[in-house]
Amino acid sequence: MTTVLQARGLTKHYGHVVAMDNTDFDLRAGEILAVIGDNGAGKSTLIKALTGAVIPDSGTISLKGEEVHFRDALDARKAGIETVYQELGVAPALDITQNLYLGREQRRKGFLGTVFRKLDKPAMRRGSARQMADLGIRVQSIRQKVETLSGGQRQAVAVARVAAWATSVVIMDEPTAALGVRETNQVLGLIERVRENGLPVVLISHNMPNVFQVADRIHIHRLGRRIALVDPNSTTMEEAVAVMTGAKSPESLGGRA
Amino acid sequence: MTDTKPADAALLEQGEDRGGPVRAFVSSQVAGPLAALVLAVLVFSLTTSTFLNAGNLSLIATQSVVVGTLALGQTLIILTAGIDLANGAIMVMAAVVIGKLATDGNALWALVAGLVVCLVLGGLNGVLISRFSLPPFIVTLGVLSVLTAAARLYTDSQSYPISSDLLTILNDGPSIGGVDITYGVMLWIGLTAVLGYALTQTAWGVRVYAVGDNRAAAALTGIKVKRVLLSVYLTAAVVYAFAAWQALGRTPTADPSGYGTANLDSITAVVIGGTSLFGGRGGVVGTFIGALIVTVLANGLTQAGIDSLYQQVATGVLVVIAVAVDHFVRTRQTR
Amino acid sequence: MNTTRRLAAAGIAMTLLTGAAACGSKDEAASGGSGGDVTIGIVELNLSNPFFGTLEKATEAAATAKGWKVMKAEAKVPGDSATQVTAIENMIARNVKAIVLDPANPTALVDVVKKARDKGILVVTVNATLTPIDAADATFATDNTNAGKLIGQWAKGTVTSNPRIAMLDFDLSDGPAGGRHNGFLEGYGIAEGAPEIAGSALTKGTVETGQSAMENLLSAHSDINLVYTINEPVAHGAYTAMKNKGVESKVTTVSVDGACSGVQDVKDGIIGATAMQFPSKMGEMAVAAAAEYIANGTKPKSGLTDSGTVLITDKPVAGLESQTSEWGLQNCWGEK
């Protein structure tokens, strides 16, 4: 299996605080990789480094085998890395199509598009309908305003948006934190659909049952670095939490992935 | 988005509207204001003998153009969840600059100078609000205060009579079937159409709505929020320059003390027109109707011989209704 | 919520800004002189109409000519008595000897004026009166009722048959506006609500509000032939409305003020007659009264002292004293 996104020896200091301490990261093609860690373990700095929001002091990041240097989030986005954020990243008064294409609107071909900057609404509607269908998201109409959707459906729109534009990696930062049980399951199903459609997913979550339900591998982060990379089929939830909190040494886990 | 798979007709169906254009219109934000306008016209047509005739209706349109044009610019700003308390003062400043320069110079250059004044002042608002993230309410309140004084200092509180044909041309116009339609009214309709197109048919428009609706989400999608905000304040400034030209056409006097409540009047038109003060909802067609409603009330109540103070009461009641409807819409849908 | 907090912040900041504007009183030292320890307060209603600027400048010039120091404050919007109350309180604290006040509201300032007078400060009002009028030591103002009466009488003698009157008013709770309105009706010899009145509308005393009001009234009553206006800018706007409708030659307009631009409108036939007021004289009379009080403690005559009103018209009516627009242009105020 090829590695899509890889990091080696990432380090980041903020004054005397070490946010990343020589950490590694590996994401393979076609997998859901969960990243877990206690609060303050440095997960979010790692994710920010991978998405261009933070520039590491040292270490390397490679995307599909080539070393990359993201200067900002736009660089990472251009490289095909898209992120779904914990807070709902949708505009409620806009409709589903407008949200899916926000910031990447398509214009009409020819004169209407170049001179009058006219949007190609039919094409965007077709594209959104296809994207929603590909991910199995059911809504009444693609022209529905997002505010008329349930919380789960809204997050589904956010996921659909990101999955539509990502060409190499989808990162999801606590995508179910604000959702109820049923809606959480919808979004987890969606994450699996994204993987089936060919994109590897990095899932940052505090919710261990969720992680064990969908992850192919689990990256355990502690004190600024990856201390274990485990297979959820050969590790129990209790063991993973124990390693994450330092109650157990990583070496005690047998099944390294 | 990549078009790798053939479109599946059944799946695409969910992209189609159900209920057709009638239902779409009823649920749109224009329906409420339009109903209010029709109701007001009906009431005054039935209660007075002088309201419903071509002359009076064209008068109402003519009387609406100045605040109506200002309100178009105000709409853009309110859509971004901003507010512009200085728009009337910017317009008056431009008008007196035009009036003073045209008194002993070329009217066309004076008009260009008025546009520059608007762009500089609108740009100042825009930079302070976008680049420095200052609250629009405070920035434009400050600019309002400075400009009110500046216009009086610049003119020594004198008015300048306007005689140039170019500057007053917007008060002229053809008579179509006995109805006088001024170029000013045509310009107002034209500006509404152009801005309506820009807001609904271009990427810029979608981004303006997105920035007003959920600024954080807009920024996360890579929209350059500050650039969008600045573009909105500059576009509004151009609209204000047209408003200054309209004002000179309508009342051929550049009066530094005129239009003292035009800022609030423009906000009233925007709100009655169904645009949300919280941003992201509404549009210029509603504002166009909102401006007409305010004028119809003033015109109709005066003709019916009702004390002018009741005009303010009626307008105030409409504002409260509009805000309540907006609140209801937002809370019902944000479950 | 973020929005709530932002709104609250905006509200607080607005309060601060208005507060700052209210505290916009400034000290202006006189250019030395023997009476250097005498300070008087000038509390104005400085609206954009040059009338107020003329009044304020005349008052200040008369005071500094006597070698006094001047403490000034201005309310910038109609009816803003709060700014004036604060200013008078500050002046009491600074021990001014006299206060010249153009009250923004007839009753709102009565209490603070009493406080000042109880401290031995002479308070005279200019341009408008307090209610009751003896709440101040004296008032120097245009007798606005008389001004209205003059143009009412002139109108009666000019528009003789089938009068159809439009009343373009300003908020009638404003003292001068009410006086002119009532005076006009009295001079014309009709009562409020008389059938001769075709319609009335409220303006903000500006050109464009005068125009809109006149347009609306003309639309309903095309037979209007006499227009009462609260001031000359409103008359000018009303004329534009008539001209747009092509009825300007059939309508007679009367007004009050006597600003140079208004007198010019009389000369140009836009306004039939106007009642000229004399703002500089008001200020000078007020300062003279203050000087008398400071010198030997003599208070001026209580009540309204008329600073004078002159009817300006180029179409005199028999038995009614008036001056021509030529004379008016010699004696008007504001920019010529």
Instruction: Give per-residue pLDDT as tens, C96-105.
Output: 999 999 998 8
> If you write DSSP's letter for every residue of C6-62 in order, what string do you get?
HHHHHHHHHHHHHHHHHT--EEE--S--TTTT-EEEEEEE--SSHHHHHHHHHHHHH
| Cβ–Cβ under 8 Å, residues C253 and C306 | no
Number of domains in chain C: 2
Contact: C207, B255; criterion CB under 8 Å: yes
Q: Strand C273-276 and strand C138-141: pairing?
A: unpaired
| Cβ–Cβ under 8 Å, residues B134 and B157 | no
Query: How near does any CA of chain C get to the CA of B270, in Å?
Result: 19
Q: What tokens were used for C323?
A: 């001056």
Indicate whether C175 and C247 sit together in one domain: yes
Q: Is C1 among the domain residues? A: no
Q: What tokens were used for A171?
A: 């990162």
Return the amino acid letter for C296: N
Alpha carbon C34 to chain centroid, angstroms = 34
User: Cα(B62)–Cα(B292) distance, rounded to whole angstroms?
Assistant: 10
Domain that holds residue A35: 3-252
**Beta-ladder partners of C43:** C73, C101
Nearest to B7 among A93, A98, A130 (CB): A130
| pLDDT for B30 | 87
Residue C141 has φ and ψ, to the nearest 5°, of: -155, 165
List, for residues C12-61, the tens digit of each pLDDT value: 554 444 444 434 444 443 333 344 589 999 999 877 678 888 999 999 99
C201, closest residue in chain B (CA to CA): B308
List, for residues C272-296, the tens digit of each pLDDT value: 999 999 999 999 999 999 999 999 9
> Which residue matches tokens 């989808």?
A170
The CATH number of the domain holding residue C232 is 3.40.50.2300
Question: Percentage of residues in chain A with pLDDT exceeding 70?
Answer: 97
| pLDDT for C23 | 41
Q: Which residue from B284, B293, B288, B286 is spatially nearest to B39, judged by alpha carbons?
A: B293
**Mean pLDDT to the nearest integer, A42-52:** 91
List, for residues A118-153, the tens digit of each pLDDT value: 999 999 999 999 999 988 888 888 889 998 888 888
Indicate whether C230 and C288 sit together in one domain: no
| Cβ–Cβ under 8 Å, residues A154 and A88 | yes
| Cβ–Cβ under 8 Å, residues C168 and C228 | yes
Indicate whether C98 and C118 sit together in one domain: yes
Q: Is A95 among the domain residues? A: yes
* CATH architecture, domain B51-327: Orthogonal Bundle (1.10)
User: Cα(C308)–Cα(C174) distance, rounded to whole angstroms?
Assistant: 20
**Residue of B252 and B94 predicted with greater confidence:** B94
**Residue of C90 and C154 predicted with greater confidence:** C154
How many CA atoms does the CB half-sphere of B23 hold within 13 Å?
4
pLDDT band at B24 (very low <50, low <70, confident <90, very high): low
Indicate whether C323 and C207 sit together in one domain: yes
Q: Is A257 among the domain residues? A: no
- Chains C, A in contact: 3+ Cβ pairs under 8 A? no
Number of domains in chain A: 1
Contact: B158, C334; criterion CB under 8 Å: yes
| pLDDT for C107 | 87
| pLDDT for C6 | 52
The CATH number of the domain holding residue A190 is 3.40.50.300
Nearest to B5 among A130, A141, A164 (CB): A130
List, for residues A82-109, the tens digit of each pLDDT value: 998 876 689 999 999 999 999 899 999 9
Residues 6+ apart with CB under 8 A from C3: B278
| pLDDT for C289 | 95
Q: Which residue from A78, A8, A75, A15 is spatially nearest to A46, judged by alpha carbons?
A: A8
Domain that holds residue C42: 25-142+279-302
Q: Which residue from C110, C106, C138 is spatially nearest to C122, judged by alpha carbons?
A: C138
| Packing angle of the helix pair B107-130, B87-103 (nearest 10 deg) | 150
Contact: C204, B260; criterion CB under 8 Å: yes
Q: Answer yes or no: is pLDDT of C5 > 80.
A: no
Q: Answer yes or no: is pLDDT of B12 > 60.
A: no
List, for residues A146-184, the tens digit of each pLDDT value: 988 888 888 899 999 999 999 999 999 988 888 888 889
Query: For testing the chain B interface, which of C203, C206, C211, C248 should be mutated: the one with the most B CBs within 10 Å?
Result: C206
Q: In chain A, what residues touch B1 (CB-CB under 8 Å)?
A: 100-101, 127-128, 130-131, 164-165
Q: Answer yes or no: is pLDDT of C149 > 90.
A: yes
Nearest to B258 among C206, C215, C221 (CB): C206
Indicate whether C89 and C138 sit together in one domain: yes
How many CA atoms does the CB half-sphere of C227 hold within 13 Å?
37
Contact: B333, A148; criterion CB under 8 Å: yes
Q: Enumerate residues 38 to 97 of chain B having a beta carbon within 8 A of any beta carbon in chain A.
A: none
Q: Is C100 among the domain residues? A: yes
| pLDDT for C1 | 42
Indicate whether C56 and C33 sit together in one domain: yes
Establish if C23 touches chain B: CB-CB under 8 angstroms. no
Indicate whether C322 and C200 sit together in one domain: yes
Q: Is C5 among the domain residues? A: no
User: Cα(B293)–Cα(B34) distance, rounded to whole angstroms?
Assistant: 9
**Mean pLDDT to the nearest integer, B62-80:** 97
